[in-house]
Amino acid sequence: MSTDETDLSVGKSSITAYSRLSYTMWHALAEFIDNSTQSRLNYPDLVDEVLRAEGTPLVVDIVHNRLKRELTIRDNSIGMNKDDLKAALQIAQPTKDSKGRSKYGMGMKTAACWIGKQWKVITAELTSGEEWTADIDVNAVAEGRARVPMTMRPVGGTEHYTTIVISEMHRQIQVRTEETIRAYLGSMYRFDIQSGRLKLTFNNVEVTPPDNYEFSVDEGGAPRRQDFQTTIGGKPVKGWFGVLQRGGRKFGGFSLFQNQRQIRGFPNAWKPAIIFGGVDAEGANNLVAQRLTGVIELDGFDVSHTKDEILYEGSEEEELEKYLEKLTLDYVTFAQRPRGKRGSNWTKEKLQELANGFKQEFGSPELKDAFNAAVLPPLETITANNKRQVASLTTEDNLATLDVSPELKVIFSVQQRSEHDPHLTIDAGAEAGTIYVIINGLHPYYSQIESPDAVEECMRQYLYDAIAEYKVTKLAARLTPETIRRLKNDLLKAEVVRIENRAAAERAGAVPAEPTPDA
């Protein structure tokens, strides 16, 4: 019997596999921000002194050029010299600065290859007087041409920056995705942004954290928010939790942080079933899932190399869940109460503050002009247009049906009508007991709503309006704004009763937590 041994090697073509990693665009972009912010953490005195003298915080600007299919990330951190840049281009070989947020020595390379086929790093270290550029052709590296050309040009000794340009992008960033990217990045780097250590922009729009929390208050008027600190598996765990006055699906849950950088959180936070209820707790949309929120710092735990999941060992996750379940019990009980039971305490001052916030919208010259110049077409014209809208629907359109009662069926749809068509069409169909609700998805007001929760609430109110109008026509009452509002009032109150009954049944364990529509 003979023995031998060989080296375990990784082929150069493996670099192309990075484009298939389970990144999201915001987690990929975060890899570059991690490097910028960790550079400052590595050399705090030097970087702080330079930035303070220049009168600027650490700035990371991200620009997406949709036409050129190019993404640029630039920072004003300390920069790199030639040797640092060479070391940074070594895959999975941590450098002397690879720690904290950049401990794996992979992030910049994997993220850049995930985003595009070509990328380059342009950097100048403070006082070096040299700008170095490295050009990486991913396909060329995969084919065995692994030498990366590096060029130098002289610059001023006070220059310091790193710019990464990624081209031939594998995936484009749609306009509607930009706000999602800002929301995630704002949450990921909330500690840095709130402290003033970091200014982050995406396509010239400053990224802000989502931390304008309005907590419910207890009987003494104190916010329902509590700090905590413990150890799990010998590792430190600390943070806070609270109950929001006005919640929402994306605001509920625990945001998980390491090194003050979010690993998982808003607007897709961690919602363990033992606390938030339901078998499919990640999709739960009950009051607890909307209102119980918090931040947990898990320094010392392992994270995935894409930095989007905490990697627990043994029973650590179960221990953490049980600890939080006991700790948050009173808050969970409070969060389950329908908000209407608490009273809003709308003082004169609070009402005026709300009105001040509305002034820009309701007091605008545009709204005044529209109000003063309002002219309605004849009722016959409006009715005829409604009929045409309904008649234009086909079986291929996206239609949904609500069976409200044996006497009423609502068919509703969001149609990409002209921006000049009405925002909403409500009309009776040819079949008795059927009404159509058509929302114009291209109407300027509706199309600018970014929040999915706001869109859903907008559609819900349209449906209530339609049902109230229909029912008033069937009653021995005049069809007036007052009668419609009164009928809608009764419908809305019925929904509050349903929520209360459901919450009571959940607390009693009679029914599972209510799932989301797409769960």
Output the 3-class SS for 273-320.
HHHHCCCCHHHECCHHHHHEEEEEECCCCEECCCCCCEECCCCHHHHH
Q: Does residue 99 have a pLDDT over 60?
A: no
Confidence tier at 413 by pLDDT (50, 70, 90): confident
Which neighbouring-strand residues pair with 302? Answer: 311
Per residue in 210-235, pLDDT (tens digit) is 766 788 888 778 899 999 999 999 99
Q: Does residue 240 have a pLDDT over 60?
A: yes
What pTM did the predictor assign? 0.60
Per residue in 320-361, pLDDT (tens digit) is 999 999 999 999 988 887 654 444 566 777 667 667 766 766
> 205: Cβ–Cβ under 8 A, 6 or more apart, which residues?
178, 182
CB 164 within 8 A of CB 120: yes
pLDDT of residue 518: 39
Confidence tier at 451 by pLDDT (50, 70, 90): low
Q: What are phi and psi of 73, to 5 degrees?
A: -120, 120
Confidence tier at 394 by pLDDT (50, 70, 90): confident
Nearest by Cα to 68 from 193, 181, 179, 166 = 166
Single-letter code of the amino acid located at 399 = L
Greater confidence (185 vs 248) lies with: 185
> 455: Cβ–Cβ under 8 A, 6 or more apart, which residues?
446, 449
Which neighbouring-strand residues pair with 340? Answer: none
Q: What is the DSSP string of 24-53?
A: -HHHHHHHHHHHHHHHHHHSHHHHHHHHHH
Q: How far apart are CA 246 and CA 260, in angstroms?
A: 26
CB 239 within 8 A of CB 295: yes
Q: Does residue 26 have a pLDDT over 80?
A: yes
CB 102 within 8 A of CB 88: no
Q: Give percent of the chain above pLDDT 90.
A: 30
Q: Which 8-state DSSP code applies to residue 513?
A: P
> 363: Cβ–Cβ under 8 A, 6 or more apart, which residues?
none
Tokens representing 198 are: 């970091």
